[in-house]
Amino acid sequence: MEKFSERSRHVTSSATREIMKVTERPEVISFAGGLPAPELFPIEEMKVACEAVLSESGEQALQYSTTEGYLPLRQDIVSRLEAIGIHATTDHILMTTGSQQGLDLTGKLFLDNEDTVICESPTYLAAIQAFSVYNPNFVEVPMDEDGMLMDELERALQAYPDAKFIYTIPDFQNPTGRTLSLKRRKKMIALANQFDVVIVEDNPYGAVRFAGEALPPVKSLDTEGRVVYISTFSKIFSPGLRLGWICADQVFIDKYVMFKQAADLHTDSFAQRITAKYIELFDLEAHIEDIRTVYLSRRQKMIDCIKSYFPKQVKHSSPEGGLFLWVELPESVDTQEIFEECLKRHVAFVPGNAFYPGRVKNNTFRLNYSNMPEEKIVEGMKRLGAVLTTAVNSSTVQSSRE
Ligand code: PMP
């Protein structure tokens, strides 16, 4: 359509969104989405919180409110950040409509046509989508089990010294479940300082650590106010409420507020108030602890199933938190083809290719373990294992013939 903007050409329908539609069918055991365990949502407590908000401050809760967000909730966030080493005031917090909006506003704020964004390879699919609207040049930095490789990051910064920002998901990354080591966090800050580049730390999963030692957020190591920290209530409370936030220095927040205002005036007043009320009346930390316990056990079940049912050539990550596990197959196997075969058996995952801006790798895929009960994990992994075994065997036979 000739009336559409140039920008609209960069937005294509996502193959993965199409995949998700199929995987939502009730008969499918889906390891595809990134959904929290719904049975853990604190529904009864939320009824109490909603009732309290409506009777105590119904008029304000249903009214327009400020762009920055509901002050008591921002105060709660400041306290939660303080506990993980990020020293902020409420002036440094902007409430957003999910952290996804934080990513969209980040694209608006920083990116002009063909600007460079440095990111992990692979990285979060919907961040690629959000930034792609501004037609950036994605520079992918390879990772190992300890996250982004710092010598490769340094090389990327030397090659693209005008890069606008480094986009990183340091804790239990989506899609790999990997965590950036402390040494590398420090090095990332040092490199950002040296090359004068912003770091966008997307950290929705940090609080969902169920094993190992907590690491300080990259933002807590920031000495020059160059880290924009983006987080959310989606994985610790409810994604349906669409509550996220940006924590950054005033110069950034002032600009973000203007873009936020233009986008949607402010984040849902009612959602912000009931969340603050829940935190006042109940124990959010205890709720997160319940989430951790369930996810640890589901992750363990999934890894046990990989050991029992997957072919030996398969490699996988061992996340200490978050929602995802990453699987790597021999190079000769195409996970898109396997996906089709799995769907026939009513089991789904996300083929890895979608998580690389350059679509470079076809032998990986992402598994979600948070959303399915353990008996379904076992059944789904058995089916998946059978398809993988056939695929790996036939690819081995084929490559030995070549
Ligand atoms: N960043 C990452 C890395 C994510 O995995 C997600 C959700 N899956 C988001 C941002 C967006 O989350 P929300 O908008 O629900 O806060």
> Quick one: 235 and 105 in the same domain?
yes
- The finding on whether 204 has its CB within 6 A of some atom of ligand 1 is yes
> Quick one: 236 and 262 in the same domain?
yes
Please report the atom of ligand 1 found closest to the CA of residue 103.
10
The pLDDT tens digits of the residues spanning 304-355 come to 999 999 999 999 999 999 999 999 999 999 999 999 999 999 999 999 999 9
Sheet holding 198-202, edge to edge: 93-97, 243-247, 227-232, 198-202, 165-168, 116-121, 137-144, 147-148
- The finding on whether 34 has its CB within 6 A of some atom of ligand 1 is yes
The pLDDT tens digits of the residues spanning 201-226 come to 999 999 999 999 999 999 999 999 99
- What average pLDDT does the chain have? 95
Supply the range of the domain harboring residue 245: 43-281
Domain boundary among 281, 316, 343: 281
Q: What is the DSSP string of 171-202?
A: SS-TTT-----HHHHHHHHHHHHHHT-EEEEE
In a domain, 113, yes or no: yes
The pLDDT, as a whole number, for residue 269 is 98
Q: How far is the CA of 127 from the centre of ligand 1 (A)?
A: 8
- The finding on whether 239 has its CB within 6 A of some atom of ligand 1 is yes
Domain boundary among 243, 265, 281: 281
Confidence grade of residue 10 (pLDDT, cut at 50, 70, 90): confident
In a domain, 33, yes or no: yes
**DSSP state for residue 321 in the 8-state scheme:** B
Backbone angle region of 340, left / alpha / beta, with phi > 0 → left and psi within -120 to 50 → alpha: alpha
Q: Which uninterrupted H or E stretch holds 203? A: none
Q: How far is the CA of 309 from the centre of ligand 1 (A)?
A: 30
- The finding on whether 175 has its CB within 6 A of some atom of ligand 1 is no
Mean of the pLDDT values across residues 256-268?
98
Give Cβ neighbours of residue 81 (< 8 Å, ≥ 6 apart): 87, 88, 229, 247
- The finding on whether 172 has its CB within 6 A of some atom of ligand 1 is no
Q: How far is the CA of 255 from the centre of ligand 1 (A)?
A: 22
What's the Rg (C-alpha) of the chain?
21
Across-strand partners of 209? 321
Structure tokens at 313: 């050539």
In a domain, 366, yes or no: yes
> Quick one: 86 and 55 in the same domain?
yes
> Quick one: 182 and 230 in the same domain?
yes
- Residue 402 pLDDT more than 70? no
> Quick one: 240 and 181 in the same domain?
yes
In a domain, 400, yes or no: no
The pLDDT tens digits of the residues spanning 128-165 come to 999 999 999 999 999 999 999 999 999 999 999 999 99
Mean of the pLDDT values across residues 177-189?
98
Mean of the pLDDT values across residues 41-52?
98
C-beta separation of 310 from 385 below 8 A: yes
> Quick one: 67 and 29 in the same domain?
no
> Quick one: 85 and 127 in the same domain?
yes
Q: How far is the CA of 100 from the centre of ligand 1 (A)?
A: 6
Residue environment code for 92-122, b if the CB has 16+ CB neighbours within 10 A, otherwise e: bbbbbbbbbbbbbbbbbbbbeeebbbbbbbb
> Quick one: 140 and 250 in the same domain?
yes
What's 30's domain CATH number?
A: 3.90.1150.10
Name the residue of 119, 202, 230, 326 whose CB sits within 8 Å of the most ligand 1 atoms, as the mutation to test its pocket.
Answer: 202
- The finding on whether 99 has its CB within 6 A of some atom of ligand 1 is yes
The pLDDT, as a whole number, for residue 61 is 98
- The finding on whether 206 has its CB within 6 A of some atom of ligand 1 is no
In a domain, 133, yes or no: yes
> Quick one: 129 and 260 in the same domain?
yes
In a domain, 108, yes or no: yes
Specify the number of domains making up the chain: 2
Q: Who wins on pLDDT, 1 or 216?
A: 216
> Quick one: 113 and 13 in the same domain?
no
Domain boundary among 237, 253, 281: 281
The pLDDT, as a whole number, for residue 48 is 98
In a domain, 353, yes or no: yes
What's 90's domain CATH number?
A: 3.40.640.10
The pLDDT, as a whole number, for residue 360 is 78
> Quick one: 51 and 22 in the same domain?
no
In a domain, 2, yes or no: no
Helix (H, G, I), strand (E, B) or coil at 366: strand
> Quick one: 60 and 142 in the same domain?
yes
Residue 72: cis peptide before it, omega within 30 degrees of 0? no
The pLDDT, as a whole number, for residue 398 is 65
